[in-house]
Amino acid sequence: MSSHPDLSEADGQLVRPVPFEDCRVVRAHGELDLLTVAPLVRALNLARTGSGRLCLIVDLSEVTFADGSILGPLSDAWADCRARHGWVRVVHSASATALLFRAGGLTDRFPGYASARDAWRGVAEGPGAASRPVRSMGA
């Protein structure tokens, strides 16, 4: 699988999907809010082009701020990938990001992963999570 081109470089934020083993990875940097979420939405849509099973890792480890505007696009990607017998897993370790998923009632859908490799392996972080792999279909 070839790498996708960079989608956006604005205000120091770069969002692009890249291949990772049998998954696609979308990495976001900087602040994600109502005014800056568009590159992430485009990257999520681009990463989901094509047909067949799709596994998607969204790496938010370099996001310094995120508000609720990311929840809809991530949930749309989750529903699409699940319908295609795949999954979406989100790398996030910042307590503010974890709080955002908790406030949105999405911690079961988007448990935190420490790295893209952990997400690919399905090993979530948190108390007791390192020893229990996350289900492929709903994670």
pLDDT tens figures, 70-117: 999 999 999 999 999 999 999 997 788 889 999 999 999 999 999 998
Residue 84 belongs to some domain of the structure: yes
Q: Which residues contact residue 13 at a Cβ distance below 8 angstroms, ignoring those fewer than 6 apart? A: 28, 29, 30, 31, 32, 36, 39
Residue 132 lies in a domain: no
In a domain, 97, yes or no: yes
Give Dmax over CA atoms of the chain in angstroms: 39
26 inside domain: yes
What pLDDT sits at residue 15?
54
End-to-end CA distance of the chain: 23
* CATH code where residue 67 lies: 3.30.750.24
- Domain count across the chain: 1
- Residue 7: pLDDT band with limits 50, 70, 90: very low
CB 61 within 8 A of CB 91: yes
Can you tell me which residue has the tokens 């991530």? 74
Structural domain contains residue 40: yes
What is the domain range of residue 117? 8-121
Tell me which residue of 113, 84, 77, 81 sits closest to 97, measured CA to CA: 113
pTM given for the model: 0.76
In a domain, 53, yes or no: yes
In this predicted structure, which of 24-28, 42-46, 61-65, 121-125 has the lowest mean pLDDT?
Answer: 121-125
